[in-house]
Structure 1
Amino acid sequence: MDTQSLRNTLLILRRIAATHANQTILQFINKLAEAPDSPPEVALRVAAYLLDQFKSARIVIVNSQLVPEAKSGVLTALDALERLFSIESLHNQFGSFPKIAPGYISNFVILLSASGSPLEGEESEAAIELAEEIDGLITKFDDLGLDPLVREIGRKHMSMLATLLRHIPIFGLEPALSTYFDLVMRLRRADSGTSPKAKSRLDPLFVTIKTWGERLGLIDKAVNSGAKLLERADGARGLLEYLPDISDVL
């Protein structure tokens, strides 16, 4: 069975086990993003990606050959996590969850160990370096000479992209590829009706952003060796192959 979502969920549970009972879910997400003042949209997207991991893990377990008793503990953990990271609960505190998380962790560790799957996701130094570069470029989107919508799109989507790249073992690379594609296309659309002066301020920034596509491809080759995402997933491959040519955008 595909164990990536199970491994990602295990890593989230380990993070939760190390947190405090009085910390809110939103504070936990912002800490994960390493940005205490992240835009609300970023926190919502992170929560959505986490819920997607839990849903994927549920599908894997429900459709596995495990006996019902073996499925039960893992599904109970997923039920609790889905409630915890629902939109309605983001301002709630963790309460007793960090204390009971080790029991859930054991279920996932036993399951992954029995299947011969690794318990740790693979870190990517290149992804961390790219995230740091993105952080540096975000500050340049404070330029008041840029179109206001371009500034907002750039800051929000790059903040999300940096967060995802820092936590590939939790989210996988697919959400980062999707966010990058979304960033490029939204910037292209928002900049299409701006003034020549505003366009000239975005030009050098967009040149840098375009270089990230090739770097994401290299990160994919390193992270997904043996099961290359860009070679075997048509949708994800299209995210990089069909990005607009720089001459079409600037």
Structure 2
Amino acid sequence: MAVRGLVLELGGRRLLDGVDLDVPAGQVTGLAGESGSGKTLTGMAVLGLPPQGACLSGSIRYGGRELVGLGARAHNALRGKELAMVFQDPTASLHPMLSIGGQLTDHVRHHLRLSRRQARARALEVLEQVRVPSPEQALRRYPHEFSGGQLQRIAIAIAIACRPRVLVADEPTTALDVTVQAGIMRLLRQLCEELDLAVLLVTHDLAVMSSLADTIAVMRTGAVVEHGPRRDVIRTPQHPYTRSLVEALPDRARRPDGAR
């Protein structure tokens, strides 16, 4: 996926100002920046979910198709099947009154046109893939019966169930404790490599980027101010804003290989 000159205007304000970004398959592309920098807006625009009333221009190329200006029906056909998202709060994407099995099987039956038996087999497969304990039992349980880390794994399972090519992960570890964060980051890295996923990791936490991303793009006030390989951005940042973010990192995160 390639984003070029992406502009988003809302209520007379330019919230994205010519964003350029490459999100290649088999790599984690980190999109970092402070609150209000435009990073989440960029992720939502990639998914065809800009704010209501927004005017979007520029280019988002995916699989030889131009997504800017694509109709709602065409976007709906892509979203969930080829373009997927994981939110910061997994409860935002899980219905509290439906079993995990129901939510997973409904999702894959809708997008992949599978039978009930095939959908259940696929649900078990992805729960095993994201290492949810006792997948058979998990299918019968409800969201409130799981911990935050397990819920995030289930949300990731739903996101990858239809074998998407692009995964947008919006602050996927922020609500979790440090130990659980590390497990989710390892899982995202593993899925990226095994499934040849193009992962766009949106976060304000440059320390997370330093341990997970292959490339890092730094956003400020709606524009990408620096974009390059993780080592280069962390070790020799060129923009003053990036330098200020790197200087705030703990020493371990500034090492050439981060936590990987």
TM-score w.r.t. the length of structure 2 is 0.28
The structure whose RCO (Cα within 8 Å, separation 6+) is larger is: 2
Structure with the higher fraction of residues in strand conformation: 2
Larger C-alpha radius of gyration, 1 or 2? 1
Return the TM-score normalized by structure 1: 0.29
Q: Between Structure 1 and Structure 2, which shows a larger proportion of helix residues? A: 1
